[in-house]
Amino acid sequence: MKSNVGGIDKILRLVAGAALVAWVLFFNGPVWAWVGVVAIATSLLNFCPAYTILGINTCKTK
């Protein structure tokens, strides 16, 4: 797995994912909000399978 998530994208995924999971846990949000776990995982792993398929890379190359 080559990293393809970086920078502001990584931060936005982490914040949005945490907000969705918190919504489910603390405010009885809808079941679909558990998708936030996927956003958190892709942020922490620096890899998004959908980005690979679409040819997107937000990591800065050195």
Residue-wise pLDDT for 9-61, tens only, equals 999 999 999 999 999 999 999 999 999 999 999 999 999 999 999 999 999 87
Residue 22 resides in a domain:
yes
Give the chain's domain count: 1
Residue 59 resides in a domain:
no
- Domain interval for residue 23: 8-54
In this prediction, residue 62 carries a pLDDT of 58
Neighbours of 30 (CB within 10 A): 9
In this prediction, residue 15 carries a pLDDT of 98
The tokens for 45 are 């792993």
Q: What is the pLDDT of residues 18-28, one digit of tens each?
A: 999 999 999 99
Residue 44 resides in a domain:
yes
pTM score, whole prediction? 0.90
Residue 3 Cα distances to 13, 37, 38, 40, 50, angstroms:
15, 19, 16, 15, 12
In this prediction, residue 50 carries a pLDDT of 96
Q: In angstroms, rounded to a whole number, what is the distance separating the alpha carbons of residues 27 and 29? A: 5
Q: In angstroms, rounded to a whole number, what is the distance separating the alpha carbons of residues 26 and 20? A: 10
Residue 37 resides in a domain:
yes
Residue 31 resides in a domain:
yes
